[in-house]
Amino acid sequence: MTATSDNVAWLTQDAYDKLQEELEHLMGPARAEIAKRIEAARAEGDLSENGGYHAAKEEQGKQEARIHQLQQLLQRAKVGETQADTGVVGPGMIVEIKFSGDDEIERFLLGSRELLSLDESVDLEVYSPQSPLGAAINGQKAGATVSYEAPNGRNVTVEIVSAKPYTP
């Protein structure tokens, strides 16, 4: 389960371990590899027209940004167990809702995109527990009907069809 609440990132032990492993790889072997590529490109001479150098520097920037992102996430992480399957909406749950007047069911993860990045085969929308919809349904049980004010000022009513723990 991953969710961000009051600047805390809730992670399962498995998610935490995978993110920690990614961070260690980026800070170790991946950082060394990119440094070698930059040094090799530098040795070729004129840097102003050296495409390999510029590409490696750009990749290095992206890698350093990901390292920073992972460090921040793991610093504020709280490791816990996957949510129990009680039908109550909470962070780390796959939620199905129906908007009032619409029979189509919308399915999404209540939490953080970080969890989905660990399982690239999953294609789900993600809503933050702090979003208007997330705040309205958080703590509610399947079958409940709740209303909230959308960002455009409109009052929206949804029925919670189901809430199941997300397991990658």
Quick check: 38 and 52 in contact, CB under 8 A?
A: no
pLDDT at 76 over 60: yes
| pLDDT at 111 (0 to 100) | 78
Q: How confident is the model at residue 4 (pLDDT cuts 50, 70, 90)?
A: very low
Domain regions of the chain by residue span: 3-80, 93-165
Identify the residue with better confidence: 92 or 141.
141
Q: Which CATH class is domain 3-80?
A: mainly alpha
CB atoms within 10 A of CB 164: 15
- The stretch 87-116 carries a mean pLDDT of 85
Question: Among 168, 120, 166, 164, which Cα is nearest to 3's?
Answer: 166
* pLDDT tens column, 12-56: 777 788 889 999 999 999 999 999 999 988 888 777 778 888 899
Same fold, 3-80 and 93-165: no
Question: pTM (2 decimals)?
Answer: 0.61
DSSP 150: -
| pLDDT at 2 (0 to 100) | 43
CATH 3.10.50.30 fits 93-165, yes or no: yes
Strands 3-5 and 125-127: unpaired
Strands 145-149 and 125-127: unpaired
Q: How confident is the model at residue 5 (pLDDT cuts 50, 70, 90)?
A: very low
| pLDDT at 119 (0 to 100) | 57
Q: How confident is the model at residue 77 (pLDDT cuts 50, 70, 90)?
A: confident
